[in-house]
Amino acid sequence: MSTAISIRGIRKAFPAPGGGSTLALHGVDLEIAPGELFFLLGPSGCGKTTLLRIIAGFIEPTGGSLLFNGRDVTDLPPNRRNTGMVFQSYALWPHMTVEGNVAFGLQVRGLERNEQARRVREALAAVRMDAYAKRRPNQLSGGQQQRVALARALVVRPDVLLLDEPLSNLDARLRIELRGEIRRICKSSGITTVYVTHDQKEALSMADRIAVMEMGRLVQSGTPAGLYRAPASRFVAEFLGETNFIEGRVEGIDGGSTTIATPAGTVIASADCGAAPGSRVLLSIRPESIRLGGGEPGALSAEIAESVYLGEIAQHTLRLGGGVTVKAAELNPTGAGSGRVGSRVPVSFARSDVVVLPLAEGSAHGADGDVPLTR
């Protein structure tokens, strides 16, 4: 049976230089479903690895509780939690063969030799490394070593599998290749898996659900599509890919739609954002949501300031009214975009692609009226 994980009010304080303490986790609450591939996502220093190591038992929390299938494991040592860990550095024994590395955990548990051999064969077959059983780690590529590390964690049949940025040491192409492979292995095994990363594409392409963390706090959790299309804050919107931000003021709410006045013109969002008329808000519009040409009702006028042709996509920088600059992504472009630089075109976007966010205190346009863009 797969394991449900309940994280209830987990806090962690570390001693600070010169006395006192630094709070790394601020009362995190999470429920992870049995068999789920769950991602902890956030920038360096947000607390995601600290939380993972608390689940593993390597770090004791300052407060809160941790439950596996309703059983309190907060004070249990790592060897009594039945978790498997895959580290960023692989941590393979260089003097052992592949099958020796994978069998090590079974030997520590005292399993009978024939049972060890059977489980090792099954684990190596699951990660498609059975043909390399007699090789040593220095005879393997980085991707192959990562598969062996995964097999070593799976072979003990853990209740919970924990992965700490397992692809960060690999080149970009290999990371993409292994994303689908790791998801296949985790889902076919049925083991509840908690995966830490700072790579947004990795999380979006692999996870069942994601928890986004910032400065030791859980700021939003949900499915990849749900977080990407409906972020609850500026931080989540810009951390999960590129987006454009435009400040505005709510003019009215009618039938669930919100009308917002912006320096670039009037924008309508399909959802009721809950803000009262007159409230200042922040709009998030993804570059791929912006369409050039067409002249639909409500289209805004823009000047093409820059156009970069990349084959399957073209990236345009557009100047709207009121000094607002946005970026647009055009799929399957003709390649003639650079010839349109300086020309004016109508631009539009679906109401459902406009996300209305609360405007942080102290946020305002610069003196020239420009609205900052995300990275």
User: 6-41, pLDDT tens digit by residue?
Assistant: 999 999 999 988 888 899 999 999 999 999 999 999
171 with 251, same domain: the answer is no
In a domain, 374, yes or no: no
Residue 138 amino acid letter: N
Predicted confidence (pLDDT) per residue in 250-260, tens digit: 999 887 789 99
Q: What is the pLDDT of residue 286?
A: 96
Amino acid identity of residue 47, one-letter, is G
Is the same domain home to 225 and 261? Answer: no
Both tokens assigned to 99: 């099958």
Contact, 185 vs 129, CB < 8 A?
no
Residue 176 shares a structural domain with residue 278: no
Is 364's pLDDT higher than 50?
Answer: no
CATH of the domain at 188: 3.40.50.300
Residues 270 and 247 in one domain: yes
In a domain, 16, yes or no: yes
3-class DSSP state of 41: strand
Residue 369: inside a domain, yes or no? Answer: no
Q: How far apart are CA 355 and CA 272, in angstroms?
A: 10
220 and 264 in a common domain: no
How many domains in the chain? 2
pLDDT, tens digit, 9 for 90 and up, residues 89-120: 878 999 999 999 999 989 988 899 999 999 99
> In this model, does residue 83 exceed pLDDT 60?
yes
Residues 171 and 256 in one domain: no
- Considering the domain architecture, whether residues 352 and 300 belong to the same structural domain is answered as yes
Query: What count of Cα atoms within 13 Å lies in the side-chain half-sphere of residue 325?
Result: 13
Angle of the 142-154 helix axis to the 98-108 helix axis, nearest 10? 20
> In terms of domains, do 11 and 58 share one?
yes
Nearest to 213 by CA among 61, 54, 46, 55: 46
Same domain, 69 and 173: yes
pTM: 0.87
Q: Tell whether the model's pLDDT for residue 363 goes beyond 60.
A: no
In a domain, 365, yes or no: no
Question: Does the pLDDT at position 180 exceed 80?
Answer: yes
Establish if 303 belongs to a structural domain. Answer: yes
Same domain, 213 and 282: no
Tell me, yes or no, whether 213 and 72 share the same domain: yes
179 and 278 both lie in a single domain:
no
Domain of residue 350 covers: 242-358
The number of residues in the chain equals 375
CATH classification of the domain holding 335: 2.40.50
Any domain includes 364: no
Q: Which residues of 5-38 are buried (b: 16+ CB within 10 A; e: fewer)?
A: bbbbebbbbeeeeeeeeebbbeebebebeebbbb
Q: By mean pLDDT, which of 127-131, 161-165, 175-179 is the weakest?
A: 175-179
The first and second tokens of residue 342, run together, are 């300086």
- What's the gap between Cα 51 and its chain centre? 15
Please give the Cα distance from 174 to 182 (Å, whole number).
Answer: 12
